[in-house]
Structure 1
Amino acid sequence: MAADTRTPGGKLLMAILMAALLAVPLFAVYLLVYDRQSQSETARASIAEGWGGPQTIAGPVLVLPYQEQVTETVDEGGRKVVRTNMVWRELTLAPEMADIRTDLTPERRSRSIYEAVVYEAAASGTARFALPADLARFGVSADRLAFDRAELRFGLKDARGLFGAPPAVSVGGRRLVLQPGKGLPSTGGSGFFTWLDASSLRGGPLTATFRFTFRGNGWLALAPQAGDTRWTVASTWPHPSFQGGFLPTRHAETASGFTATWRVGNLALGRSLVTSDAVQPDARAAGGADRYMVAAPAGDYEARVDLVSPVDLYSQVNRSVKYGFLFIGFTFMAFLMFDVIAGVLVAAAEYLLVGAGLVLFFVMLLAFAEVVGFAGAYIVAAAAIIGLLSAYSTAVLRSRRRGGYVAALLAALYGVLYILLSLEAFSLLIGALLLFAALAAIMYLTRNLDWGGLRSAPPTA
């Protein structure tokens, strides 16, 4: 066997070069994870297609039309002519109080290895409307309002999700006939409405009751409208995530589901209960005017609950790939120590083969995780790679004990990585302490090592 003429510094440089070359397949694995995640999202969207998208509910609001005289100056034949027209305007009245309850029934739907969470929702509630005492401040008097042509409007982001018994809306104990469209701006104009005679508003509050069922997936949001909105959501899904501009005032989560209650006032919304907007003169006659509505509140003014999966395997695999260099660095450093201290020759090809096995772990983790879940896949992939590399190390390092050291190192690394993935809040701290311990051990083991072969060189004149 030829004598090894490489200096320890040269061996270190070679190990670093081999590790750098492995950045290419490691980056390819990262792209593979991203591609599989994109395919998963596409598959989930396909599963939920036709079921109903992420839903936002809004309303109800009471729309009262009235006529107003408008004067305009036009140019006719070079002369200024003043014309007076009657135009329809809409007074939009948000309820003083709205009490809404939504019961969510989640369901997991699968196609091949992909899974999506969809839900059926049953919404019910009451809303109380009243004319403000200072209505004249809005430039409208009660005697100009066409109460007999009022409309009660509801918003639902994806009206295709309506299913089961038709929605039921009652005012004063009388059930009203519903029509499609004329939803609220906060739901993109999607929803339904009903005509009603709101003349009873002259004498006091008007109370509307409603119920409807719809389907959706992913999340459900409410765009509050009332002076005092109370929204209660109950579901058997045990992993809710509360988002949006308003968080629940109370919520309880158990293994069997959750309940949450929001309480939002119009002062928090920064909106008046009374707004108005112009309607084209001929729109009322055509039965239209469904696009002339008050401005929608921003997305930040929503209460929202997401039905999230407790474990997103793609994000976990993605995070594990980011620790790939940690595995390569620790394993290569172990081989380097056997090389420069124990005198066991390790070739560049052997570094590359060991590195290829380390990279293969992440591919196996992704492949098995899509079938058996992340935890089971982690155990299978880690056991396979530890067995493969420990057997190969026994042959390369020419010692079963040294192969056992490599196996113990890999087992410790995979154990620490799983802890890092589980304790996301402390992953940086644990990783920093691990690197510090490794650096201290390497410094101790190589404290007397002549890295450049200069200490044994003869002195020069």
Structure 2
Amino acid sequence: MEQKKNRFGNWLRNSITARMLVVGFLLLVLLIPLEFVQSLIYERSLRQAQVVREINEKWGNEVVLSGPMLKVPYKTYKEERVFIEQTKTYQTITETIVKYAYMLPETLNINAAANSKEEPLKRGIYESVVYTADMDITGTFTAINLTDQNIADDAILWDKISVVLMTSNLKGIRNTMEISIGSDHLELAPKFSNNYLNTLESKAISEATAKTDQPISFSSSMKVNGSEYLQFIPVGKETKVNMTSNWPSPSFNGRYLPVDGSREITENGFKAAWEVFQINRQFEQVFLNTIPDLKSFAFGTNLIIPIDEYQKSERTAKYGFMVIGLTLLVFLLIQLVSKLYIHPFQYVMIGLALVMFYTLLISISEHSSFLKAYAIAAVSVLALVTIYSRAILKGFKFPLLVCLSLASLYGFIYVIIQLENYALLVGSIGLFAILAIIMFASRKIDWGNGNE
């Protein structure tokens, strides 16, 4: 019995197959703490998103602007036959019902200057990009005529026509909202409605302005605190938007992109221009009764923080299996070539040191740049693994090989993280090169020795 135990112990100690099985098993075990690290990164990322939302809610959320529009009330009649009990006869009763038509502008021009604060708003270690947008809104309406909608002029309530403007962010507005339309100067006030955006509505415009047979011009200005993105819905038959900002990292989003040649992005900010015509959008210029949800047609800019440390940390952690696996493979090859014995516990210690790289990375990156955090974490783990390998691998030759291999891996992964369009290409070429090196280095190992 004792002899069998000794034989089994010698097999575990000397057999290449046994050592490969042990290292493979330990690699799978080390995936457990690596998964915990990835969960930690995800949890911290969710916490960041939550805090950013809280910051934005206090300053002002995203801004979506739609309008102005003319709200035109008109009369319709409903006839109903009612039985009169006293006379035992039927009588026709006509009921007057007021409905509304919404006229969109013929032209709409918006000049917006969305300037961010010099420093992002912060809460603890988290920050959010916020801005204050100054907008000048001008344009024209066609003369009010709803005959195409089978609404006669005498059915229109000319003394009750008002102007409606809709926005997603009432809390962020920093000025008294007014609109000049024709010869009228009217204040815009919030009004409860079932529209998809918050509604601002004016008092009735004068009949002189409403009944003109000429285009009706309008102008307004708006100052609003917002965060993340600023978007516009192209309600004009011809909509033109010019935007400038001091934020150097815009992301142009929505249904329409800026006009070719209008985008100019520098380290001091950006400017862009959009032109959207009625033929470019699938809705008409007059709506009856309700305004449909048109947010899917919105366009504009997202003011983003270009470096998301959590996204980069998450992408780095996805390569954890490769780093741990290749590092343990290097130690296994060293063990096979040098005939030195490395205990499974020592493999576990090396693997845990490699896992610690990711906890160091995420914790340091919350207080510094990703590059500094990556460099500090990589140097720390490199030093720890190299010193530890010096203790278990006699001499300096093999510890230096471990240090060089691990440093190359960390450098390779950092390059991939910085790339976007070519990440897959560079990663594939790098993995091919690593495989070639391993094949070359292991070519002289006698895999079929008598200890199997």
Normalising by the residue count of structure 2, what TM-score does the alignment of the two structures yield? 0.91
Cα deviation for residue 13 of structure 1 reads 1.3
Contact kept? 1:102, 1:122, Cα under 8 Å: yes
Q: Is the 8 A contact 2:188 2:200 kept in 1?
A: no
Aligned partners of 1:63, 1:253: CA distance in 2, in Å? 39
- Deviation digits for residues 171-202 of structure 1, max 9, x if unmatched? 23542133222579342x33343421254343
5 Å-filtered alignment, 1:55-94, equals 55-72=63-80, 83-94=93-104
Looking at structure 2, the residues matched to 161 and 240 of structure 1 have their Cα atoms a distance apart, in angstroms, of 21
> Deviations along 1:318-342, whole A, 9 cap, x unmatched?
0000000111111111101111122
* 2:133 aligned residue (121, 129, 139): 121
Q: CA deviation at 1:355?
A: 0.6
Aligned counterpart in structure 1 of residue 143 of structure 2, from 113, 121, 131 = 131
Give the Cα separation in 2 of the matches to 1:412 and 1:72. Answer: 86
Report the Cα offset of residue 440 of structure 1: 2.2
| C-alpha RMSD of the superposition | 2.3
Corresponding letter in the other structure for 1:144: A
Identify which range, 191-200 or 380-389, moves more after superposition. Answer: 191-200
Q: Residues 273, 332 of structure 1: CA spacing in aligned structure 2 closer, same or farther, 3 A cutoff?
A: same
Tell me the equivalent position of 1:363: 359
Q: Tell me which of 233, 239, 245 is aligned to 1:223.
A: 233
Which residue pairs with 2:393 in the alignment?
397
Tell me if 1:273 matches 2:323: no
The 5-angstrom pairing of residues 45-444 of structure 1 reads 45-72=53-80, 83-107=93-117, 108-131=120-143, 135-163=146-174, 165-181=175-191, 185-187=195-197, 189-200=198-209, 201-249=211-259, 250-277=262-289, 293-297=290-294, 299-444=295-440
Query: What is the Cα deviation at residue 370 of structure 1?
Result: 0.3
**TM-score between the two structures when normalised by the length of structure 1:** 0.89
Displacement after TM superposition at 1:131 (Å): 3.0
Matched residue type, 2:322: L
Deviation readout 1:32-91 (Å, 9 max, x if unpaired): 001111111121122223211111111000111111112346789899875421111112
User: Residues 439 and 80 of structure 1: is their aligned pair in 2 closer, same or farther, counting only changes over 3 Å?
Assistant: farther
Q: Which moved more, 1:83-92 or 1:58-67?
A: 83-92
Match of 1:42 among 37, 45, 50: 50
Amino acid at match of 2:263: H
> In the TM superposition, what whole-angstrom CA distance separates every residue of 1:258-300 from its partner, at most 9, and x where no partner exists?
11111112222211112222xxxxxxxxxxxxxxx32222x32
CA distance in 2, matches of 1:269, 1:173: 31
- Number of equivalenced pairs: 436
Distance in structure 2 (CA, Å) of the matches to 1:424 and 1:76:
79
Which segments of 5 or more consecutive residues in structure 2 lack a partner in the other structure?
1-8
Deviation at 1:435, TM superposition (A): 2.0
